[in-house]
Amino acid sequence: MKRIGPGLAVLAVVTAAVGCGTPDVGGAGPGFPAPVEVAVDRLEGWYRVAGTVGTPPVPAAVTFWVEQGRFGTYGGCPGGTAETTVRDGRLFVDFVESSAIGCESGAPTTVWDEFFLPFLTDDPAVTLTATSMTLRAVGPPERQVVLQRTGTPAGAGEGRLSGTPAGTYEVRSVSAGDLDPDVVAAIGGPLTPALWLADGRVGMLGGCPGGAGDGVVGGGRLLAGPLTVPAIGCQPGFGTVWDEWFRAFVEDEPAVQLEGDVLTLRTAGSPGATVLLERVGD
């Protein structure tokens, strides 16, 4: 067993299969096709768990992404990200970067990641079709996870990113109907909020109380949160209203576009919002 990120306990595998519909990608047991060589870039995309054998129940929000030789898991707790390669039909992961901060022991999201992250570092066999990827443990006990492709990473013209675009970015403009217009008008004047990204972390500056948490860019989206808020006193004003809104925006997995030093974050929910930021430092 390879190392897992700090603070992550390894849970004994639960062998009850969940009742998810499994796409026809070979299935479990003797009918599973022999792994074939695939380049890691062919795995690129967003996936949801569509079927399992020998795993804990799957939280509905769990997603998995692969982009430019890096994968990430999101929706479990603590989640994780790592460099990955494919050789001889197997997925190789040396070390999953993760933290157990804020994870509730015994919660379904925690139990899932306590299974899934060690499963990934056990070098599972990988089989790929046009619409799905199947990961299967090479040794006993039998464990299999079928991932259904739900999207592909953003193309180069759409600001494709991998990992974390490190730097500090000041907010230049906001388009959001649910944000107080007086707060929007204050940006660039009395209020100069910023976002920083570095080493798998994301944080808020310029408002009050600020906040920080784990965060990466994968599949063309910013995956961050929950952000930890420092226990400091804030006077009511533009900064506190902004921080409450922006924290929720950042945690809503906005799409990312980077052109030069201009970073655009955009959510597609209702109401959608767009935040334009400019890089001002490392």
pLDDT tens digits for range 7-37: 333 222 222 233 333 333 333 344 444 444 5
Q: What is the DSSP string of 43-96?
A: G-EEEEEEEEES-PPPPTT-EEEEETTEEEEESSSS-EEEEEEEETTEEEES-B
Q: Which helix (H) or strand (E) holds 281?
A: strand 273-281
| Euclidean distance between the first and the last CA atom of the chain, given in angstroms as a whole number | 36
For 171, the token pair is 């907010």
Q: What is the pLDDT of residue 153?
A: 47
Q: Per residue in 170-183, pLDDT tens?
A: 999 999 878 889 99
Contact 18, 52 (CB under 8 A): yes
The string of pLDDT tens digits covering residues 98-114 is: 665 567 889 888 899 99
Ordered structural domains, the chain, with CATH: 29-151 (2.40.128.270), 158-281 (2.40.128.270)
Which of 38-42, 123-127, 173-177, 193-197 is least confident?
38-42
Please tell me the predicted confidence (pLDDT) of residue 269.
64
Burial of 270 (0-12, 13-18, 19+ CB in 10 A): exposed
Give the integer Cα–Cα distance in Å for 1 and 22.
Answer: 28
Give mean pLDDT, residues 243-251: 91
For residues 170 and 194, is the Cβ–Cβ distance under 8 A?
A: yes
Give tens-digit pLDDT for 115-146: 998 999 899 999 888 788 999 999 889 999 99
Q: Write out pLDDT tens, residues 236-245.
A: 888 899 999 9
230 neighbors 209 (Cβ within 8 angstroms): yes
